[in-house]
Structure 1
């Protein structure tokens, strides 16, 4: 089924279909054959962010880029945005596609899901490239306080009704602020692509879904992380943790302390980028991911 008419531009070599799971209909873009590679986007974007990267990744992979629940072309039900529900979506998707184990490239919110999937179901994740978030093995420290000023919007969006008001209506000030303030150069945004993302948020239920994600998943997970809730777990998945050198939301002190909790994690700071790594340095992300995947055991 071609879902591109009137939305994202069609791209040769990339197919589209819907997968029906309990309580949600997920849209996936697919290309290539070989080792499965699941692509998970962040907010306020969708799988469209990977379009330009898919051809290179699909040369040696079966690429599956999914619109997460509530995002892109996937359905936006009223509920089901807890972490457990989102992980159930991903497991259901892998099962529906008959994928026993997959590599993952994930950004922002998608990276949160990827880390938690790797911890809860390590047998399903062969290796992970996580972009633009810290690792989960943290506990609150006063040194983190300066970082919180860059995450001030998260509790605001978690407040019932605020995401709809600020991201889906009028001038959509919160969505525009995200795209403007978390890149080095706001001029990187193609106006057509930016309008596509903003238009999706204006659709009924889309902005509300973002609010539900922050309220039911992101904020509770953040509070658990700050209490050291993941320090008793161990990450066995080979992981590349990559962040932009100028990403103020993920400074060096949030990238430390993983060594005793992860079997094989590496750090990479990518110059010329802040938070939106997939848009600011797509070629560098692809090359780093492919080099990482090419290693024995990854």
Structure 2
């Protein structure tokens, strides 16, 4: 039996000088590192971490700027954020891990696995296009854009304006986030929605989330350098049926030597909230079979 999500331990580590990283950890077996997206934090793994904990020791950090971790004014390029996580796993003494990133967490996962490929047996990227290798095309406006489109990818590259527009309107912003590119327009529970609103309303948290996106140009430059040496380990790229679907795998083929794709049925962008059983089965199949 896996752990109930409430049974995962809450711990903290100090990395990269004075950055406090909060993380949840639990389970048994080989190490599996899960990196969340935005506007979520480690809570997003509540549906699949209990399933995965039957086979793995699951480590779920809150990235800088999110959840219980520090909210610094800078350092939201994915290279710096990956260094936070590298120092965390070094402190924990984990040297051979499985890695899974979701949404912007996939950007951190790519930077981390490309800089330290010897640490990771297999890597999963979910619902993300890598800056420098397709993300820029996704963020371009098109004639068929509407309220459900990814307009925020462009808007958030000007953080001062985006923060001005949404400061004090965090609830409305998250209502839109969890509605757009969802499969059934109700991706998260009311209880978890309130927690995400609380977290993003903390001082500096909205700006931090926007800065994740504003770092796209630096991320693209860094990724192109890292991609000069393609990822050597097996890679799985996962999309939701009503969102990225098979397209995610095509976006990661230029940066890795062994890429397979998978689609989570009856799910949009919010894979773990919309179809956790299917997502967990896909991850377990990939991580536990050669």
- Where on the TM-score scale, by shorter chain, does this alignment land: which range? 0.7 to 0.9
- Superposed displacement of residue 188, structure 1: 3.6
Q: Over aligned residue pairs, what C-alpha RMSD do you find?
A: 2.8
Label 1:197 to 1:166 Cα distance change in 2 as closer, same or farther (>3 A): farther
* CA distance, structure 1, for counterparts of residue 123 and residue 136 of structure 2: 27
Instruction: Show the counterpart of 1:209.
Output: 208
* Matches for 1:83-232 after TM superposition, within 5 Å: 83-134=78-129, 138=133, 149=145, 150-170=149-169, 172-215=171-214, 217-222=215-220, 232=228
So what's the TM-score if we normalise by structure 2? 0.86
Partner of 2:276 in structure 1?
A: 282
Structure 2 runs not aligned, ≥5 long: none
Which residue of structure 2 aligns with residue 246 of structure 1?
242
Aligned residues: 282
In structure 2, the residue corresponding to 1:293 is in which secondary structure?
A: helix
Q: Is the 8 A contact 1:118 1:235 kept in 2?
A: yes
- Distance in 1 (CA, whole Å) between partners of 2:247 and 2:143 is 10
* Contact in 1 for aligned 2:134/2:251 (Cα 8 Å): no
**Could you report, residue by residue, the CA deviation over 1:200-228 in whole angstroms, capped at 9, with x for unpaired residues?**
1111011011122222x334325777xx6
Match of 1:256 in 2: 250
Q: 1:163 to 1:203 in 2, by over 3 A?
A: farther
Out of 212, 231, 234, the position equivalent to 1:235 is: 231
- Which moved further from structure 2: 190-199 or 153-162? 153-162
More divergent stretch after superposition (179-188 vs 253-262): 253-262
Post-superposition CA distance 1:86-117 (Å, at most 9, x none): 11101111111111121112210111111222
Change over 3 Å in CA distance of 1:233–1:91 after alignment to 2: same
CA contact (8 A) 1:138 1:254 kept: no
* Separation (CA, whole Å) in 2 of partners of 1:140 and 1:190: 29
3-state secondary structure, aligned to 1:186 = coil
**How far did residue 140 of structure 1 move?**
8.7
Q: For residues 276 and 11 of structure 1, do their structure 2 counterparts lie closer, same or farther at Cα, with a shift above 3 Å needed?
A: closer
Give the 3-state SS of the residue equivalent to 2:25 in structure 1. Answer: strand
2:10·2:25 contact (CA, 8 Å) conserved in 1? yes
- Classify the secondary structure of the residue corresponding to 1:31: strand
Distance in 2 between residues matched to 1:286 and 1:89, nearest whole Å: 26
Shift of 1:37: 0.6
Unaligned runs of 5+ in 1: 1-9
TM norm structure 1: 0.84
Distance 2:139 2:77 in 1: 25
1:172-225 CA distance string (max 9 Å, x none): 43332111112021224211111110111111011011122222x334325777
Q: Distance in 2 between matches of 1:155 and 1:136?
A: 12
* Structure 1 residue 281 displacement after superposition: 1.4
